[in-house]
Amino acid sequence: MRIVVLAGGIGGARFLRGLRRAVPDADITVVGNTGDDIHLFGLKVCPDLDTVMYTLGGGIDEERGWGRADESFRVKEELAAYGVGPEWFGLGDRDFATHIVRTQMLDAGFPLSAVTEALCDRWRPGVRLIPMTDDRVETHVAVESDGERKAIHFQEYWVRLRASVTAEAIVPVGAEHAKPAPGVLEAVAEADVVLLPPSNPVVSIGTILAVPGVREAVAGADAPVIGLSPIVGGAPVRGMADKVLAAVGVEATAAAVAEHYGADLLDGWLVDAVDADHVDRVEAAGIPCRAVPLMMTDVEATAAMAREALALAREVRPA
């Protein structure tokens, strides 16, 4: 079975771990979000790709959900001693090595997709991880600060400000000129199922879909496209997805997110059991919907979610 998953960071990575448990023999291609990539200290940092790579490769810090296990922060402390920041972004010593290797390869002319493949040679994540694009896309957030409207990098909004100011717009800068990375459209076209994990629908999956050709490919795929709601009981399971949903005028409910993706994209939608009352609304929008437990409390619970998604896929599009 060939499965394509569009993945952001922590949520996507944890879902993928469950999916691998559920279907260990499946051929899984992960299209990773690169809109939250950032240049720090002259280095190219790809937080979402790394979170997927570290999580599936056994190198993740389980507690934080990002960065390396058994991490130290000596390089960052020294940079701060030089007065060089930003201090609000957590880059650990072991993590630095990844960004150094990546930057060196990019400077040598390799595209990000080739660099990601090389990094995965070490991590062996058990999936094929492809960035959504080799082109530079950077998600910016329009905020009002001191009466002035300005655009800041998504990481500044998310990590430094903890989404504490109102996001008035989310703009994946560069997306309109980006091309899908080699292999992305092919994987979608050949997939038996496409899954949208409970990742952020705006700044993770939304950014991937904003790369010209990707949304069209997913919507037009032969394979059923099944999504899992990142909103449970009217609030994000983790993170601050409600803040960026508000910026695009979508209420933070399981049903509203399904409608936001749209019936043209989704062939099925899973909401959490506590949101069973949303099923009718989603189905009224033309999207088959089931209510099942959607809390990724551990790998087995997550595997059960993946099984439900695959079961819904078979139901809506029998082989």
Q: Any residues with CB less than 8 A from the CB of 67 and at least 6 apart, and which?
A: 54, 60, 61, 90, 91, 92, 95
Nearer to a copy of itself by Cβ, of 41 and 89: the residue is 41
Nearer to a copy of itself by Cβ, of 29 and 98: the residue is 98
What are the structure tokens assigned to 206, written together? 């939304």
69 three-class SS: coil
Nearer to a copy of itself by Cβ, of 93 and 264: the residue is 93
Closest CA to 103 of 9, 180, 39: 39
Per the rule left: phi > 0, alpha: psi between -120 and 50, beta: everything else, 16 is: alpha
Distance (Å, rounded) from C-alpha 41 to C-alpha 37? 13
The nearest distance, CB 69 to a copy of itself, in angstroms, is 12
DSSP E strand boundaries for the chain: 2-7, 27-32, 38-40, 43-45, 128-131, 138-145, 148-153, 167-173, 193-196, 225-228, 231-232, 235-236, 268-272, 289-292
Identity of residue 159: V
Question: Interface with a copy of itself by CB under 8 A: which residues?
Answer: 41-43, 72, 74-79, 81-84, 93-94, 96-98, 100-101, 103-104, 107, 119, 122
- Strands 193-196, 2-7: pairing kind: parallel
The nearest distance, CB 87 to a copy of itself, in angstroms, is 13
Q: How many CB atoms lie within 10 A of CB 87?
A: 11
42 three-class SS: coil
Residue 164 near residue 146 (C-beta atoms within 8 A):
no
The nearest distance, CB 37 to a copy of itself, in angstroms, is 17
Distance (Å, rounded) from C-alpha 51 to C-alpha 5? 15
Nearer to a copy of itself by Cβ, of 69 and 142: the residue is 69
The nearest distance, CB 180 to a copy of itself, in angstroms, is 26
The nearest distance, CB 120 to a copy of itself, in angstroms, is 11
The nearest distance, CB 163 to a copy of itself, in angstroms, is 28
The nearest distance, CB 152 to a copy of itself, in angstroms, is 20
Distance (Å, rounded) from C-alpha 262 to C-alpha 269? 10
Nearer to a copy of itself by Cβ, of 15 and 54: the residue is 54
Nearer to a copy of itself by Cβ, of 70 and 148: the residue is 70
CA angle, 61 as apex, 112 and 57 as ends, to 5°?
Answer: 50
Nearer to a copy of itself by Cβ, of 84 and 301: the residue is 84
Nearer to a copy of itself by Cβ, of 95 and 275: the residue is 95
The nearest distance, CB 94 to a copy of itself, in angstroms, is 5
The nearest distance, CB 155 to a copy of itself, in angstroms, is 18
Nearer to a copy of itself by Cβ, of 43 and 263: the residue is 43
Q: Any residues with CB less than 8 A from the CB of 56 and at least 6 apart, and which?
A: 13, 16, 17, 20, 123, 125, 126, 127
